[in-house]
Structures are given as C-alpha cells and as structure tokens.
Amino acid sequence: MTTPAQKIADVFVQLSGGSAGTPLQAPELLTTLVRCGPQLLGVHAVGTVVALDDRTEPQIAGSEDSAQELKREGLRWCEGPGTDTRRSGRPLPCTAFDSEAAMRRWPRYAPRALELGYTRVAAYPLRTRERPVGALVLLSSAEDTPMSEEAGTLAQSLADFTALALIREHELQKSRTLSGQLEHALVSRVIIEQAKGVLANSLDLSMDGAFALLRGHARTHRRRLTDVAHDVVEGRLKLGLDD
C-alpha cells in the first residue's frame, strides 16, 4: 500500500468536519469513512457498523450496495466479522471467507459474502473510552493484493479517530438535550409563578388557589400546564372561578 501522506491527512481532516471543523453528525461521518476507505486502504469495499449505546439502533454504512447489503444481513443474523469485532473490541486479522474457520464461525454470513464476490475480510474495532462502539470491516475480492501491515495500522487509527469523533458528537447531542431540558424547566417555572400572580390578583385567590385553578384548567382541556400559564400571562386566556 502506498497511499501518499497528504491523502491520508486529507481523510482525517474530512472526518473531523473539514476545514470548518464543525463535528460531522454520525451518518455523515460513517458515509465519509466508507467513501474514503477502499482507495485509502487498498481494498475492494468497506463497511461499518456502529451502536453508540444500548438504546439506539445500530447504524450501518457501506462503500457499495453489496457491502451495505452484507452489513444489513450481518446485523439481522447477529453474525459476521463486524458483529464479532464490535463485541470483542479486538481487531480481526485477515480471514478468507472460504476457510473452514470462517464457515464455522459465520455459517450464513460467509457464504453470502462469497456470493457477493468478497473473498477475504479484516475488521477493526471503533474503540472509545469505555467500550467498543462499532467496527470497520474491510472486504477484499480475489483480484485485490493482500493487505499490508501498514494498511492494518492505518485502518485502526481511522477507526479510533472515527470513534472519537462519534463519541464527541454523541456527547454534544446529549448535553444539548440536557441543557435544553433544564432551561425549559426553569422558564416554565417562572411562567407558572407569574400566571399564579395574575390569577391571584384578578380573582382574589391565594397562590395555592390560583395554582389549583391553572392545573384544573390544564387537566380538563388536556393541555400542558406551561402552555396554559403562558396564555394567562400573555392575556390570551381569561380564567374564571368556574373554570
């Protein structure tokens, strides 16, 4: 493998979000990885599977339709080099699909891979701080020259880099959600207190009485308390004692 250093550097820059440096979202990131993978690593095709946590569906990407198809089936069968590597967190050395070991380990995946024209596979874990979150799978056909050790090292560092970028993006999303929720809760509280004041003054109620009225209205009209409070504060909704 003789990929010029500049080409390798360019791919890392693309994975980190290009010259703008804005983190790529997971689907774009995986697409970039599989698009650049084959030429950079000197293999026929590249596939990847990622599951950042137990709650989200695993995501897949492939550099060509058959690679994507193979990834999808591997996921459905819970079988194949990607699944194994994602679980173990260890790289899988180059293995021929028609070998006895491969056939025994992947009884459905290996024949399907051969059918699609792939003869050999190697896989590298996408590793993060605590656990592997995915795998980068390199698929070779009969015409491809055997993968060099150098290509294996590069594949692992691409995988590590991608994993880091994925986790950073995931944490960004999580933090965005949490701070959004916190702000929403705080703003809601302010509006509810203000609405209580409005009702207490207009209807000569205690603050508890005003709150009961707000809550009662929200329940009977199946609306969120915050929305009702907002309408009261803005003067769009006039509540009476019989509400």
Partner 1 sequence: METGGPSGDAAVAWQRAATARERAARAEVLAAQQEALAQQDPSSVHAKIAANHRRSANCHRSSAELQEAYARRLTALRQPHEPLPLFMGVVADACGTNSAALTLIGSDHSQLAVAASDEGARAAQDLEFVLGEGPSTDAAARRSRVSAVGTAIERRWPCYGPAVAALGVGEVIAVPLETADGCLGSLAVFDPRPGTATAAVFADVTEALVRTVLLGPDADPELYGDTDHRDTVHQAAGMLSVQEHCAVGDALSMLKARAYAEGVPVDEMARRIVHREYRLA
Note the residues at the interface with partner 1 (CB under 8 A): 129-130, 157, 160-161, 164, 171-172, 175-176, 178-179, 182-183, 185-187, 189-190, 193-202, 207, 233
Between the alpha carbon of residue 223 and those of residues 205, 207, 219, the distances in Å are 22, 21, 7
Closest CA to 192 of 212, 178, 220: 212
Output the smallest distance, CB 223 to partner 1, in A: 19
Q: Rounded to whole angstroms, how far apart are CA atoms 10 and 62?
A: 20
Residues constituting the chain: 243
Rounded to 5 degrees, φ, ψ at 64 are: -145, 165
Minimal distance, residue 118 CB to partner 1, in Å: 28
For partner 1, the closer of residues 148 and 179 by Cβ is 179
In the bound complex, what is the minimum distance in angstroms from residue 178's beta carbon to partner 1? 4
Residue 41 CB partners (closer than 8 Å, separation 6+): 1, 3, 138, 147, 151, 154, 155, 158
As measured in angstroms, the least distance from the Cβ of 138 to partner 1 is 19
Shortest Cβ 106–partner 1 spacing (Å):
30
In the complex, least distance from residue 89 CB atom to partner 1, rounded to whole angstroms: 13
CB closer to partner 1 out of 101 and 190: 190
Spatial CB neighbours of 161, under 8 Å, sequence gap ≥ 6:
12, 15, 16
CB-wise, 115 or 234, nearer to partner 1? 234
Nearer CB in complex with partner 1: 148/157: 157
**C-beta of 110 vs 126, nearer to partner 1:** 126
Task: Copy the structure tokens of residue 93.
Answer: 């050395």
Burial of 205 (0-12, 13-18, 19+ CB in 10 A): middle
For residue 165, the number of C-alpha atoms closer than 13 Å in the C-beta half-sphere is: 25
Q: CA separation (Å) from 103 to 97, 109, 114, 226?
A: 7, 8, 11, 60
Find the shortest distance in angstroms from Cβ 54 to partner 1.
Answer: 14
Q: How many CB atoms lie within 10 A of CB 71?
A: 25
Residue nearer to partner 1 on the CB measure, 78 or 187: 187
Which C-beta is closer to partner 1: that of 72 or that of 215? 215
